[in-house]
């Protein structure tokens, strides 16, 4: 009896289903996973934080400028790696922007405070005027309203002041508070505030911006 040869199409021959591996076999190895560029990721995170803090007045520059420098350094070093170059470039740009914005904010804030200081320390010529229609009245004036004087008819006073505001209050001495009284304040020759009333009046004049 002749044993039939095992050919590819012989009945009863074991055939491997397509797409499956034989028992004990292993699938072919794929390409190795791409390594993450830690420097690039660090540059991106630090750059974002630095950029966000660069808009905060006073505190921002102390965080944004050092943080921006760190982000730029990490990003430049990360560009030398083979992976995540996009993250490295983004972190470098964000760090540089944070430094520029923080410097601009610092300069603008410094100019603002200098302007306020110059305005507050600039002296202005102040002219006060108070009137009472009948009898006598008391006038109080100054930045802290710490000066006062009794008068009849019309009272005037001039002085040079530097500050934010000055004010005056005119109070009649009649117990019935029915005296007609007025107040007026001029700053550098211009009438800034004028008021009239019965019994008591107050005038408040801003010095900033005059």
C-alpha to C-alpha distance for 102 and 135, rounded to whole angstroms: 63
- pLDDT tens column, 99-150: 999 999 999 988 888 877 777 788 899 999 999 998 899 999 988 888 999 9
Encode pLDDT of 5-42 as tens digits: 555 555 555 555 555 555 555 555 555 555 567 888 99
Cα angle 67-73-76, degrees, rounded to a multiple of 5: 135
138 forms bridges with which residues in the sheet? 150, 171
- Domain end, chosen from 63, 93, 120, is at 120
Say how many domains are in the chain.
2
Nearest Cα to Cα of residue 95 among 71, 73, 76, 77: 71
Domain that holds residue 89: 38-120
Q: Are residues 138 and 181 in the same domain?
A: yes
Same domain, 137 and 99: no
Domain end marker among 120, 136, 169: 120
Task: Flag whether 6 is in a domain.
Answer: no
Domain annotation covers residue 200: yes
Is 102 found in the same domain as 65?
Answer: yes
Pair 115, 133 in one domain: no
Among 120, 149, 180, the domain-final residue is: 120
In a domain, 189, yes or no: yes
In a domain? residue 25:
no
């Amino acid at each position: 009896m002749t044993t039939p040869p095992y050919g590819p199409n012989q009945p009863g021959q074991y055939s491997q289903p397509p797409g499956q591996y034989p028992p004990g076999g292993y699938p072919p190895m794929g390409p190795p996973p791409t390594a993450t560029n830690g420097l690039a990721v660090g540059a991106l995170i630090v750059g974002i934080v630095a950029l966000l803090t660069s808009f905060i007045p006073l505190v921002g520059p102390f965080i944004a400028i050092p943080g921006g420098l760190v982000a730029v350094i990490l990003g430049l070093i990360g560009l030398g790696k083979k992976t995540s170059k996009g993250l490295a470039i983004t972190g470098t740009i964000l760090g540089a922007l944070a430094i520029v914005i923080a410097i601009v904010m610092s300069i603008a804030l410094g100019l603002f405070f200098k302007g306020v200081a110059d305005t507050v320390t600039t002296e202005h010529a102040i002219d006060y005027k108070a009137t009472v229609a009948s009898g006598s009245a008391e006038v109080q004036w100054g930045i802290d309203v710490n000066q006062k004087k009794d008068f009849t008819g019309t009272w005037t006073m001039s002085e040079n002041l530097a500050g934010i505001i000055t004010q005056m209050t005119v109070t009649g001495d009649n117990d019935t508070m029915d005296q007609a009284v007025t107040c007026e304040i001029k700053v550098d020759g211009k009438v800034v505030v004028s008021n009239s009333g019965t019994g008591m009046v107050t005038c408040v004049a801003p010095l900033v911006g005059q």
